Structures are given as C-alpha cells and as structure tokens.
Structure 1
Amino acid sequence: MTKQTFRVVIIEDDPMVQEVNRQFIEKVPYFSVAGVAGNGADGVEMVKRLKPDLVIMDIFMPVSDGIKTIRRLRAENQAVDVIVITAAKDSETIHAMLRHGAVDYIIKPFTFERIRQALENYRRFRLQLQAEGEMSQAHLDQLLHRREGGSAFALEDLPKGLNPVTLQQIIDYLSRQSAPLSAEEVAEHVGIARVTARRYLDYLEKNGRVRRAVEYGGIGRPTHRYVMCSRP
C-alpha cells in the first residue's frame, strides 16, 4: 500500500478525551491529527479550513451536537469522512449518524485496539477505491463487506491472539507480491514480531490461503517462505 498519510480533525468537548483520541490516532501509522475542536460549530469551520480526510466526532457537545454537525457537513458538501466515538448507544442516534454517512461508530469506553481497527479498515478501503478506478460489482461487494466487517475473517473464527485487521494486512501484502516471502520480511512490513508473523502465516497455510516453500542455502536452518495460493 502507498504511504499516503490521512489527516484527521477531532471534534470532542472533553479535553481528556481529546488527548486520548489524539494519542491513539497518532499511534496508528499513516494517520496524523490536523486539528482539534471543542464543539461542532468550531469543528465544521476547522474542516472547511483544513480540508482533512477524516473527522473523529463525539455526539454530546455544546453549541452543535454530533447529529447537527454531520448534517451541516453534508449540507455544505464537505468532502470528509466521519467516524463517531461517543457514549450514545441508542438505536435512534446510531441510525441517524450512519444514515448521514458515518463510516464507523465506536461506543465509549473504548480501547486503542478498536480505534486502530477502525482507522486501518478506513485506510484500506480508501486506498483500494483510489487504486481500482472502475471495478466490477463483485469487487465492490467485497470492499464494502470488508469495510463493514473489518476483515474477511470473523473475529470468533480466529485463534486466540490473532487479530483480523493484522491478518488482512498480511493477506493484502502477500497478494501484491510475486515472489515468496519469509516471516521476517512480512513482519517488517506489517510492523509485528517475526514470531507473531509466523503464527499468522501458519494459520493462513492451514486454511489454504498461502503455500509454504522451504529454501535451503548455506549453513544454518532452512528458510520458510510463503506465497498466496491462487483463489478458486
């Protein structure tokens, strides 16, 4: 994937949550915080000025709450995506935000892992849309399914300790390679330990998604290399 950085504006009235959100977002590669606003009205003006890719938005805010804010962003045709992070968990509010185009909805209290998953899903979806140009209905359905589900693999289907977002990153990376790669090469690209990468690769091999080849050369242990299997 390209190393394009996605710029984020945070719209949140609680200073402590602002800082937690900022730290979490900037821990995720390829995301940076362009600005922070304490209410929806200021947030809209900040979006108009900074032109970010993404807004991370609360619902309960003074001056203009999250629903009014996302409505205004859409009414003014601001080309920005929205992820909601809020304590609001009633179906009416959730439906209102999704109806106005929120790409994800995270309920407080939240974890770094949940935000990381949301941002990585968003980045993957955006980059694939940019790269593909025209696409078939089947490919579009696949992209939309992955965006909603976070991965082609359900969390409950994975062994303990494996994350579906990381698994999908590995699949995406291997799918773009013509030559088999070692666990160390995969680990370096994804940003995980070699032993961890080996666990993901072994899981993919057991499920018929990758093929393992043993490479002998010189003194020492042979190198195990992995390549994606052709899809049926």
Structure 2
Amino acid sequence: MIGVLVVDDDFRVARIHRSFVDRIPGFGVVGVAHSGASCLDQVRRHAPDLVLLDLYLPDMFGLDVAARLRADGHDCDVLVISAAKEADAIRGAVRSGVVNYLLKPFGFDDLRTRLEQYATQRTGLYATSVHDQADIDRALTCAPRAGNALPKGLSSETDQLVRTALSTAAGTLSAAECADQIGISRVSARRYLEHLHTTARADVTLRYSVPGRPERRYRWIGA
C-alpha cells in the first residue's frame, strides 16, 4: 500500500481529493493537512510515500514546503496539485524533482492515471537490481526506444518543461501558447511539440477559425 498525504488549504477540496485517492487500488490516505506547517508535521509522524501538495498554502508556498522536506531528509515523493499555471511555478516544480504536476480542477480519472503511472515507476525503482545503464533506464521508465531519442538540438530539460506544460493543460495548446508559458520561442516550442507528436505522446488537431494557415493544436495523450 502506498501511503498518501493530501495537502490542500481548502477543507472541501481536500476531502474530495482524499476520496479520490481512497478509490484507487494500492493507495491509501495516511493524513490530510491544510497548511505547510501541518504538512511538515504529518510527514514526520506518518512517513507517507507520496505527498499530494497544493502550492497555495496559507503559511508557505508549496515548493518551499517541498524544499524543507528534502532538507529535513524525508524521502517521500511529491506530486503537485495546483491551479498555478505560471511558467515559474511549473519550472520550479520540475527543478524540485516532483513526480508530476496536476492542474486544478481535475477529475478522478486524471488523478488515477497519474497515480498509476507513479506506482508503476516506484515499483520499478524498488524492484530493479542495477548492473548497468540499461537497468537504470528501465527503473526510470525511460529506457531507449526506437524513435524516442531527442533530435539533435533539443535538450532534455526543455523537453520536460514542454511535457509538463502540455500534460497539465486544461485542453489543447498551440506552439505560441506553450512558448509563452515556459519562456521559449514559438519555433522551439513547435519543435518539441512535434517531437512529442512523432513519438505518439501528443495528438494534433487543426483549428481553422483564424485566417491563413490552420493553427496546430496539441493535446497530451501519454507518458
């Protein structure tokens, strides 16, 4: 059983998220916190495997809470659940090593998908005996596959930012919207998004509502 601590300043939302987690096989809620201080205290007391962490807490910013958890030596993982769409928040979450970033409001299926992905990766990390790089790649669920390597000129850091922006979008994103969100050029964003489409991680639709060439809209379809 993977123990989960739900952290959200809104009591009603926290109850909903708790009910979602309790419906997912293999997961159980070990506590609910409504502030950063309460989160830190409950992590010390309950030692959860995963913290569902809101960013907008009454006493601390969520990423500061995550940093405190690391500084205090806790090895729990963090999955951000937030309404924050700002590029700085998404970049900060990625750099903090969060396992995922789920944009509010979300439904049960959205959370279930991400928790199941987390469980699969966590099982691989604990079960793998490491003998070489291939074992590490498999444990991190990023073993090289045909057509999956980044094209020349694309960086893994920016690729992760684009993936996070796309996977947390409420609907579809254009290259221009993605670029504005994470702070890169539209041309660069288009290259990363097209790579995700080529590797079957993003779907593309065309919008004909503007004059000239149709706008390409991207939607995340898989990790």
Q: CA RMSD in A?
A: 2.5
Residues 1:86 and 2:67 aligned together:
no
DSSP-derived class of the 1:102 partner: coil
CA distance in 1, matches of 2:131, 2:89: 33
Q: 1:109 aligns with which of 99, 105, 109?
A: 105
| Percent identity for Structure 1 against Structure 2 | 35
Partner of 2:118: 122
* CA 138–87 in structure 1, closer or farther in 2 if over 3 Å, else same: same
Amino acid aligned to 2:67 = R
1:164 shift after superposition:
6.1
Amino acid paired to 1:9? L
Q: In 1, are the aligned partners of 2:128 and 2:139 still within 8 Å (CA)?
A: no
Is residue 2:33 matched to residue 1:30? Answer: no
**2:140 counterpart SS class:** helix
Equivalence for 1:96: 92
Alignment partners' CA distance in 2, 1:20 and 1:153: 32
- Where in structure 2 are there 5+ consecutive unaligned residues? 144-159, 168-198, 205-220
Q: Partner of 2:130 in structure 1?
A: 134
Question: Residues 172-196 of structure 1: CA distance to partner in whole angstroms, max 9, x if unpaired?
Answer: xxxxxxxxxxxxxxxxxxxxxxxxx
Q: Per-residue displacement from partner, 1:134-178 (whole Å, max 9, x unpaired)? A: 14323433443559889x964649xxxxx969xxxxxxxxxxxxx
Which of 38, 44, 53 is 2:40 aligned to? Answer: 44
Query: Which structure: larger Rg?
Result: 1
Whole-Å separation in 2 of the counterparts to 1:154 and 1:69? 31
Structure 2 counterpart of 1:86, one-letter code? S
Going from structure 1 to structure 2, the CA distance change for 1:128 and 1:135 (only over 3 Å counts) comes to farther
* Structure 2 contact 83–104 (Cα < 8 Å) conserved: yes
Give the structure 1 partner of residue 4 of structure 2. Answer: 8
Structure 1 pair 84–93 and aligned structure 2 pair: CA distance change class (3 A): same
Q: Which runs of 5+ in 1 are unaligned?
A: 158-162, 166-232
**Counterpart residue number, 1:216:** none
TM-score by length of 1: 0.61
> Aligned partner of 2:59: which letter?
V
